[in-house]
Amino acid sequence: MKLHGKTIVITGASSGIGGEVARLARFHGAHVIGVDRNDPMVTLDGFVRMDLGDPAAIDAGLAFLPAQIDGLVNAAGVPGTVDRDVVARVNYLGLRHLTEQLLPRMPKGASIVNITSILGAEWPHRLDLHKQLSATTSFAAGKAWLDANPVPQDTCYQYFKEALIVWTKKRSGVLFMQHDIRMNAVAPGPVFTPILGDFVSMLGQERVERDATLMKRPALADEIAGPIVFLLSDAARWVVGANLPIDGGIEAAYA
Protein backbone atom coordinates (compact mmCIF):
# COMPACT_ATOMS: atom_id res chain seq x y z
CA MET A 1 0.00 0.00 0.00
CA LYS A 2 2.88 2.39 -0.64
CA LEU A 3 1.79 5.91 -1.50
CA HIS A 4 5.24 7.50 -1.70
CA GLY A 5 5.28 10.45 -4.08
CA LYS A 6 1.49 10.62 -4.35
CA THR A 7 -0.57 13.71 -3.54
CA ILE A 8 -3.91 12.78 -2.01
CA VAL A 9 -6.85 15.16 -1.44
CA ILE A 10 -9.27 14.07 1.29
CA THR A 11 -12.59 15.79 1.96
CA GLY A 12 -13.95 15.55 5.48
CA ALA A 13 -10.35 15.24 6.66
CA SER A 14 -10.85 17.04 9.95
CA SER A 15 -12.31 14.06 11.82
CA GLY A 16 -13.89 10.62 11.54
CA ILE A 17 -13.09 8.39 8.58
CA GLY A 18 -11.48 11.19 6.61
CA GLY A 19 -9.14 12.00 9.47
CA GLU A 20 -8.05 8.36 9.81
CA VAL A 21 -7.49 8.05 6.07
CA ALA A 22 -5.32 11.17 6.21
CA ARG A 23 -3.25 9.75 9.06
CA LEU A 24 -2.75 6.37 7.39
CA ALA A 25 -2.03 7.83 3.95
CA ARG A 26 0.70 10.04 5.41
CA PHE A 27 2.13 7.01 7.23
CA HIS A 28 2.40 5.29 3.84
CA GLY A 29 4.24 8.25 2.35
CA ALA A 30 1.53 10.38 0.75
CA HIS A 31 1.42 14.16 0.70
CA VAL A 32 -2.08 14.80 2.07
CA ILE A 33 -4.22 17.89 1.51
CA GLY A 34 -7.34 18.07 3.67
CA VAL A 35 -10.60 19.75 2.69
CA ASP A 36 -13.23 20.53 5.30
CA ARG A 37 -15.43 23.25 6.79
CA ASN A 38 -13.86 22.68 10.21
CA ASP A 39 -10.31 23.02 11.47
CA PRO A 40 -8.32 19.78 11.11
CA MET A 41 -7.76 17.57 14.15
CA VAL A 42 -4.97 15.57 12.49
CA THR A 43 -1.61 16.48 10.96
CA LEU A 44 -1.88 17.37 7.27
CA ASP A 45 0.51 18.65 4.62
CA GLY A 46 -2.00 21.27 3.56
CA PHE A 47 -5.57 22.34 4.30
CA VAL A 48 -8.29 24.10 2.31
CA ARG A 49 -11.45 25.28 4.03
CA MET A 50 -14.43 24.57 1.79
CA ASP A 51 -18.22 24.22 2.03
CA LEU A 52 -18.97 21.24 -0.20
CA GLY A 53 -22.64 22.15 -0.31
CA ASP A 54 -21.90 25.36 -2.25
CA PRO A 55 -20.62 25.03 -5.84
CA ALA A 56 -19.30 28.61 -5.79
CA ALA A 57 -17.25 27.82 -2.67
CA ILE A 58 -15.95 24.67 -4.34
CA ASP A 59 -14.90 26.61 -7.42
CA ALA A 60 -13.17 29.25 -5.29
CA GLY A 61 -11.30 26.59 -3.32
CA LEU A 62 -9.94 24.90 -6.44
CA ALA A 63 -7.25 27.58 -6.74
CA PHE A 64 -5.72 26.40 -3.47
CA LEU A 65 -5.53 22.72 -4.41
CA PRO A 66 -2.46 21.15 -6.07
CA ALA A 67 -1.91 21.18 -9.83
CA GLN A 68 -1.49 17.39 -9.79
CA ILE A 69 -3.63 15.09 -7.69
CA ASP A 70 -2.94 11.37 -7.59
CA GLY A 71 -5.85 10.43 -5.34
CA LEU A 72 -9.14 11.85 -4.11
CA VAL A 73 -11.12 10.52 -1.15
CA ASN A 74 -14.66 11.87 -0.86
CA ALA A 75 -15.21 11.29 2.85
CA ALA A 76 -17.17 14.44 3.74
CA GLY A 77 -20.84 13.91 4.49
CA VAL A 78 -23.78 14.89 6.65
CA PRO A 79 -26.38 12.62 8.30
CA GLY A 80 -30.02 12.36 7.32
CA THR A 81 -31.06 14.31 10.40
CA VAL A 82 -30.24 17.57 8.60
CA ASP A 83 -32.40 19.09 5.87
CA ARG A 84 -32.67 16.93 2.75
CA ASP A 85 -31.43 19.78 0.56
CA VAL A 86 -28.19 19.91 2.54
CA VAL A 87 -27.84 16.12 2.31
CA ALA A 88 -28.28 16.32 -1.46
CA ARG A 89 -25.78 19.15 -1.83
CA VAL A 90 -23.01 17.74 0.37
CA ASN A 91 -23.38 13.98 -0.04
CA TYR A 92 -23.96 13.95 -3.78
CA LEU A 93 -24.07 17.15 -5.83
CA GLY A 94 -21.07 18.86 -4.24
CA LEU A 95 -19.07 15.65 -4.12
CA ARG A 96 -19.69 15.09 -7.82
CA HIS A 97 -18.94 18.71 -8.71
CA LEU A 98 -15.59 18.71 -6.90
CA THR A 99 -14.61 15.39 -8.43
CA GLU A 100 -15.40 16.47 -11.97
CA GLN A 101 -13.51 19.74 -11.51
CA LEU A 102 -10.42 17.90 -10.28
CA LEU A 103 -10.32 15.28 -13.05
CA PRO A 104 -8.13 17.42 -15.37
CA ARG A 105 -5.48 17.47 -12.63
CA MET A 106 -5.35 13.68 -12.32
CA PRO A 107 -2.70 11.74 -14.25
CA LYS A 108 -3.00 8.20 -15.53
CA GLY A 109 -3.17 5.79 -12.61
CA ALA A 110 -4.93 8.23 -10.29
CA SER A 111 -7.58 6.88 -7.94
CA ILE A 112 -10.89 8.22 -6.59
CA VAL A 113 -12.60 6.63 -3.59
CA ASN A 114 -16.14 7.60 -2.60
CA ILE A 115 -17.65 6.78 0.81
CA THR A 116 -21.10 5.28 0.37
CA SER A 117 -22.87 3.17 3.04
CA ILE A 118 -24.52 -0.18 3.61
CA LEU A 119 -27.68 1.93 3.82
CA GLY A 120 -27.38 2.37 0.06
CA ALA A 121 -27.70 -1.35 -0.58
CA GLU A 122 -31.18 -1.04 -2.12
CA TRP A 123 -29.99 1.03 -5.07
CA PRO A 124 -31.23 -1.55 -7.63
CA HIS A 125 -34.84 -0.80 -6.61
CA ARG A 126 -34.48 2.81 -7.80
CA LEU A 127 -31.94 2.28 -10.57
CA ASP A 128 -33.83 4.21 -13.26
CA LEU A 129 -34.16 7.28 -11.03
CA HIS A 130 -30.52 7.14 -10.03
CA LYS A 131 -29.48 6.84 -13.68
CA GLN A 132 -31.51 9.93 -14.50
CA LEU A 133 -29.82 11.93 -11.75
CA SER A 134 -26.44 10.57 -12.77
CA ALA A 135 -27.03 11.78 -16.33
CA THR A 136 -27.36 15.41 -15.23
CA THR A 137 -24.19 17.23 -16.18
CA SER A 138 -23.79 19.91 -13.51
CA PHE A 139 -24.62 20.85 -9.92
CA ALA A 140 -27.41 23.15 -11.15
CA ALA A 141 -28.88 20.52 -13.46
CA GLY A 142 -28.80 17.94 -10.69
CA LYS A 143 -30.50 20.35 -8.31
CA ALA A 144 -33.19 21.09 -10.89
CA TRP A 145 -33.82 17.36 -11.38
CA LEU A 146 -34.18 16.90 -7.62
CA ASP A 147 -36.57 19.83 -7.42
CA ALA A 148 -38.74 18.06 -9.99
CA ASN A 149 -38.29 14.67 -8.30
CA PRO A 150 -38.27 15.43 -4.56
CA VAL A 151 -36.73 12.92 -2.16
CA PRO A 152 -38.51 12.25 1.17
CA GLN A 153 -36.71 13.64 4.21
CA ASP A 154 -36.90 10.39 6.19
CA THR A 155 -35.00 8.39 3.54
CA CYS A 156 -32.85 11.12 1.99
CA TYR A 157 -29.57 9.78 3.42
CA GLN A 158 -30.18 6.31 2.01
CA TYR A 159 -31.32 7.76 -1.32
CA PHE A 160 -28.21 9.79 -1.93
CA LYS A 161 -25.90 6.97 -0.87
CA GLU A 162 -27.73 4.80 -3.41
CA ALA A 163 -27.31 7.53 -6.01
CA LEU A 164 -23.60 7.79 -5.23
CA ILE A 165 -23.15 4.04 -5.73
CA VAL A 166 -24.83 4.24 -9.14
CA TRP A 167 -22.84 7.31 -10.20
CA THR A 168 -19.60 5.62 -9.08
CA LYS A 169 -20.37 2.54 -11.15
CA LYS A 170 -21.47 4.43 -14.25
CA ARG A 171 -18.72 7.07 -14.20
CA SER A 172 -15.93 4.62 -13.35
CA GLY A 173 -16.07 2.81 -16.68
CA VAL A 174 -15.66 5.98 -18.71
CA LEU A 175 -12.85 7.30 -16.52
CA PHE A 176 -10.88 4.07 -16.68
CA MET A 177 -11.34 3.40 -20.39
CA GLN A 178 -10.67 6.97 -21.54
CA HIS A 179 -8.30 8.36 -18.91
CA ASP A 180 -6.83 5.44 -16.93
CA ILE A 181 -8.32 6.91 -13.74
CA ARG A 182 -9.90 4.48 -11.28
CA MET A 183 -13.05 5.24 -9.32
CA ASN A 184 -14.33 2.96 -6.56
CA ALA A 185 -16.41 3.21 -3.40
CA VAL A 186 -16.46 1.70 0.05
CA ALA A 187 -19.67 1.05 1.97
CA PRO A 188 -19.15 1.17 5.75
CA GLY A 189 -21.65 -0.08 8.29
CA PRO A 190 -22.04 1.78 11.61
CA VAL A 191 -18.80 3.53 12.62
CA PHE A 192 -17.75 5.18 15.86
CA THR A 193 -17.61 8.76 14.56
CA PRO A 194 -19.05 12.05 15.88
CA ILE A 195 -22.27 11.53 13.88
CA LEU A 196 -23.02 7.95 14.98
CA GLY A 197 -25.76 9.22 17.28
CA ASP A 198 -27.45 10.95 14.35
CA PHE A 199 -27.79 7.60 12.60
CA VAL A 200 -29.48 6.09 15.65
CA SER A 201 -32.00 8.94 15.56
CA MET A 202 -32.38 8.69 11.80
CA LEU A 203 -33.00 4.94 11.59
CA GLY A 204 -35.05 4.47 14.74
CA GLN A 205 -34.55 2.17 17.69
CA GLU A 206 -36.16 -0.89 16.05
CA ARG A 207 -33.77 -0.87 13.07
CA VAL A 208 -30.78 -0.19 15.30
CA GLU A 209 -31.64 -3.09 17.61
CA ARG A 210 -32.14 -5.43 14.64
CA ASP A 211 -28.80 -4.50 13.11
CA ALA A 212 -27.10 -4.84 16.50
CA THR A 213 -27.87 -8.56 16.46
CA LEU A 214 -26.02 -8.91 13.14
CA MET A 215 -22.70 -7.37 14.14
CA LYS A 216 -20.11 -7.54 16.88
CA ARG A 217 -19.94 -3.76 17.25
CA PRO A 218 -19.70 -0.56 15.19
CA ALA A 219 -16.40 -0.18 13.35
CA LEU A 220 -13.58 2.07 14.43
CA ALA A 221 -12.70 4.71 11.86
CA ASP A 222 -9.21 3.28 11.36
CA GLU A 223 -10.79 -0.05 10.36
CA ILE A 224 -12.38 1.74 7.40
CA ALA A 225 -9.22 3.63 6.49
CA GLY A 226 -7.10 0.60 5.56
CA PRO A 227 -9.22 -0.59 2.62
CA ILE A 228 -9.51 3.00 1.36
CA VAL A 229 -5.73 3.41 1.35
CA PHE A 230 -5.45 0.09 -0.49
CA LEU A 231 -7.80 1.42 -3.20
CA LEU A 232 -5.63 4.54 -3.48
CA SER A 233 -2.51 2.45 -4.01
CA ASP A 234 -1.13 0.92 -7.19
CA ALA A 235 -1.82 -2.51 -5.66
CA ALA A 236 -5.49 -1.89 -6.57
CA ARG A 237 -4.69 -0.83 -10.14
CA TRP A 238 -7.23 -3.30 -11.62
CA VAL A 239 -10.07 -2.57 -9.18
CA VAL A 240 -12.61 -0.36 -10.96
CA GLY A 241 -16.25 0.43 -10.18
CA ALA A 242 -16.35 -1.59 -6.96
CA ASN A 243 -18.52 -0.75 -3.95
CA LEU A 244 -16.68 -2.59 -1.19
CA PRO A 245 -18.66 -3.39 1.99
CA ILE A 246 -16.64 -2.71 5.17
CA ASP A 247 -19.28 -3.60 7.70
CA GLY A 248 -18.15 -6.56 9.81
CA GLY A 249 -20.46 -8.85 7.84
CA ILE A 250 -23.79 -7.03 8.16
CA GLU A 251 -24.56 -7.09 4.45
CA ALA A 252 -23.75 -10.79 4.28
CA ALA A 253 -26.10 -11.46 7.20
CA TYR A 254 -29.03 -10.17 5.15
CA ALA A 255 -28.42 -12.75 2.39
The span from the CA of 90 to the CA of 31, in Å, is: 25
Name, in order, each residue with C-beta under 8 angstroms of 79's C-beta and a sequence gap of 6 or more.
Answer: 87, 157, 195, 198, 199, 202
CB 106 within 8 A of CB 64: no
The span from the CA of 146 to the CA of 92, in Å, is: 11
CB 115 within 8 A of CB 188: yes
Name, in order, each residue with C-beta under 8 angstroms of 121's C-beta and a sequence gap of 6 or more.
Answer: 187, 251, 254
Tell me how far CA of residue 163 lies from CA of 52, 90, 126, 185, in angstroms.
17, 13, 9, 12
Contacts of 43-48 with C-beta under 8 Å, sequence gap 24+, read 44/13, 47/13
Tell me how far CA of residue 93 lies from CA of 12, 207, 238, 252, in angstroms.
15, 28, 27, 30
Nearest-Å Rg of the Cα atoms of the chain is 17
Q: Is 157 a catalytic residue?
A: yes
3-state class percentages of the chain: helix first, strand second, coil last, to nearest 5? 50, 15, 35
Identified catalytic residue from 92, 157, 159, 254: 157
Active site residues: 157
